[in-house]
Amino acid sequence: MIQLSVLDQSIAAAGASQDQAVRNTLALAQQCEAWGYRRFWVSEHHSHPSIVGTAPEVLMAAIAARTERIRIGSAGVMLPHYSALKVAEQFRVLNALAPGRIDLGVGRAPGSDGRTAQVLNPDRYASERFPQQVMELQAWITGTPLPVGHPGHGVFAYPSSESNPDLWILGSSDYGAQLAAHLGLPYAFAYFITEGQGLETALDLYRQHFRPTEQHPKPHATVCVWALAADSEEQAWHLFKSRARWRMDRNLGRIGPVLPPELAERDYSAAEQLALAQLKANALVGSAPQVAHKLRSLAQRMDIDEVVVITWTHDPVHQRRSYELLAKEFAWGCSQAARQAEAEMI
């Protein structure tokens, strides 16, 4: 049976405040728990006028206070910006707030432009120490002493507890797959970034070179995909216009809030029309049965039992509806708790 999880980025919508985007994420997390989703992940971006989720550890704490069962995670913390010890401490606090429910996904990419990355960490070579940082982080969140001679020997990340955050490597290339395999960690491939390119190679490398650990005796991989379901195929493609316009504008260096579909169409150049046709051809968009079929086919082809879904719409009502429809397609249904949570938000 395929399980679905969620990645939400707190997307800025034209005509709405950016702080409302963060509140929308909190509301979505509560709904997704009620609908039966396995995980709810939030991302980290900086100085980005479209994606305003800048502090996943803060947002995760708010989600933890409003949920009881769903796993909560970062997808991810851009580790080269920070001290591995500080990240370990933050996530140990999160684990104290939501014991056994915390996923610590880390990535090497800056989650920003070069200038912003330089402001976050003036060390231009910080990303080259990413593997070392991950190993330090792994030691600190599991309570494993660092070796004699290491500057962190004798230093511990508190608070301690009976459970630990689950460390994940996030990536969109062979690099992350090989590192996750070497360290025996779960791996998430950013399918929505690469449009699927490199997925099979990355998963093959991860599985072939995986080194079992006590915590993870077998490889565990998932993929993060962009998908949108609606009550009809026609409505889904109408809503998709917002995402398509954003992608076409981004390719020209124009980044801003997501437009409503009614205002999203513009005259596209011949080259843009080709790019748009390719985007549509690969898109997981349609009625709920259509999208569910595409997700199952992808999972079967990649031999995975979990898919993480990211959905952008201008109106959060349509985003929530997409997740609700997919939950029903995967036989979780819309529970009484979900209906009550939705009623309380209205």
pLDDT at residue 1 in the model: 83
pLDDT tier, 332 (very low <50, low <70, confident <90, very high otherwise): low
Query: How deeply is 223 buried, as exposed, middle or buried, from its count of CB atoms within 10 A (0-12, 13-18, 19+)?
Result: buried
pLDDT at residue 196 in the model: 84
Is the pLDDT at 46 greater than 80? The verdict is yes
Residue 230, phi-psi category: left (phi > 0), alpha (psi -120 to 50), beta (remainder):
beta
pLDDT at residue 111 in the model: 81
pLDDT at residue 337 in the model: 46
Q: In this predicted model, what pLDDT tens digit does every residue of 249-265 receive, in sequence order?
A: 999 999 999 999 999 99
> Chain-wide mean pLDDT for the chain?
94
- Say yes or no: domain 3-345 is CATH 3.20.20.30: yes
Q: In this predicted model, what pLDDT tens digit does every residue of 121-165 receive, in sequence order?
A: 999 889 999 999 999 999 999 999 999 999 999 999 999 999 999
Is the pLDDT at 307 greater than 90? The verdict is yes
Is the pLDDT at 340 greater than 60? The verdict is no
Closest C-alpha to 226, from 204, 213, 244, 238: 244
Mean pLDDT of all residues in 190-198? 91
Is the pLDDT at 223 greater than 50? The verdict is yes
pLDDT tier, 344 (very low <50, low <70, confident <90, very high otherwise): low
Is the pLDDT at 341 greater than 50? The verdict is no
Is the pLDDT at 302 greater than 80? The verdict is yes
Is the pLDDT at 17 greater than 70? The verdict is yes
Is the pLDDT at 345 greater than 50? The verdict is no
Is the pLDDT at 346 greater than 80? The verdict is no
pLDDT at residue 336 in the model: 45
Is the pLDDT at 339 greater than 70? The verdict is no
Q: Helices 288-302 and 199-209 sit at what angle, rounded to 10 degrees?
A: 40
Q: In this predicted model, what pLDDT tens digit does every residue of 87-122 receive, in sequence order?
A: 999 999 999 999 999 999 999 988 888 899 999 999
pLDDT tier, 218 (very low <50, low <70, confident <90, very high otherwise): very high
Mean pLDDT of all residues in 76-87? 96
Is the pLDDT at 14 greater than 90? The verdict is yes
pLDDT tier, 334 (very low <50, low <70, confident <90, very high otherwise): very low
Residue 100, phi-psi category: left (phi > 0), alpha (psi -120 to 50), beta (remainder):
left
Mean pLDDT of all residues in 333-340? 47
